[in-house]
Amino acid sequence: MINLPAAGASEAFVHPALFYRGEADYLAGVGGFVRTALAADEPVLVAVPGPRLDALREDLGVGTTGVTWTDMTHLGRNPGRILAALQDFADRHADRPARIVGEPIWPGRSRAEVLEATRHEALINTAFAGRRATVLCPYDVLGLPAEVVSDARRTHPTLLEDDKALISPEYADASSVCADCDEPLPEPDGGTPWLAYTHGELGEVRAYAEAWARGTDLSAALRGDLVLAVSEAAANSLAHGGGSGALRMWSTAEAGAGAGVGGRSGVVAEIRDGGHLADPLAGRRRPALASVDGGRGLWMIHQLCDLVEIRASDSGLTLRLHMAAS
């Protein structure tokens, strides 16, 4: 088992990537990490995809106390939700160093999901700087594309591979990684129309989104979530995006170029305005209750949608909101 330096009495944050090959390798690395934490009486959160979660629980003992188990395919369906969950766990155990296993990228994730999960991995280093916590991130080097493993070397200061703990020479600043994640958004097929809006027209935006969503495969509950997310995004345009914006919506079943949630059918809403995103963590961490402009709208959008893609440029801000039909 690798002797991993952990955030104990010091204030250092530890964020290693574990490169594993097969289930035995996985159980040895992740299971050893959890056992070490339990022996030190440290709180543990394990957030990994369901099949890996089941294997770990069986290996460690289903009734293992002191471990919070979370299926990452649910928590991390939208990678923008993960960071706040990890921070919430650490906050609940602020008196002790927290040990967290987070596996945000697994085989089968779409390119759009991988980019947002990679952005999440880079921003962990910013969000947890100076905290007593260790976040171990497993990577399936046999099942993931080579470029994903390469990006893991850029987002993690420490690498665990072949029973060795190494400093990553490719580790990069979060801003550099996030900039590389800003790949151009693919255009949907067909002439998708835009709805322009300005002050006093938020009701019209909601009515348009609701009427459009009724013609899709979304359930009534999901339609409600989508309309609320669109409304929050449009309200942000009016308050922070120059006072106006534009909305377009399409079905991923009809426009394959816009699909982004694991290949599932669903809908996409895109909002463009003249705003700017000063804080790359906005919406990814829970805003304070007393906050006036701390990203509450963007936070809500991340909670409602299955994927949120954000692109900032000199001309303004683009939000692409994905909602899967199932």
The enclosing domain of 18 has a CATH number of: 3.40.50.300
The answer on 234 and 102 residing in a single domain is no
The answer on 199 and 127 residing in a single domain is no
Domain of 295: which CATH number? 3.30.565.10
pTM: 0.92
Cβ–Cβ < 8 Å for 258, 215: no
3 state SS of 247: strand
- Burial of 209: CB neighbours in 10 Å, binned 0-12, 13-18, 19+: buried
pLDDT for 2: 55
The answer on 213 and 126 residing in a single domain is no
In a domain, 186, yes or no: no
Which among 254, 257, 251 is positioned nearest to 213, based on CA atoms? 251
The answer on 225 and 154 residing in a single domain is no
User: H/E element holding 290?
Assistant: none
- In the chain, the number of structural domains is 2
Cα–Cα distance for residue pair 281/238, rounded to 1 Å: 21
Strand boundaries in 120-261, DSSP class E? 133-140, 158-161, 164-167, 195-198, 244-251
The pLDDT of residue 191 is above 60 = yes
Q: Which of 181, 210, 233 is the last residue of a domain?
A: 181
The answer on 158 and 286 residing in a single domain is no
- For residue 81, what are the domain limits? 13-181
Other CB atoms within 10 Å distance of the CB of residue 258? 23
pLDDT digits (tens, 9 = 90+) for 212-246: 999 999 999 999 999 999 999 999 999 988 999 99
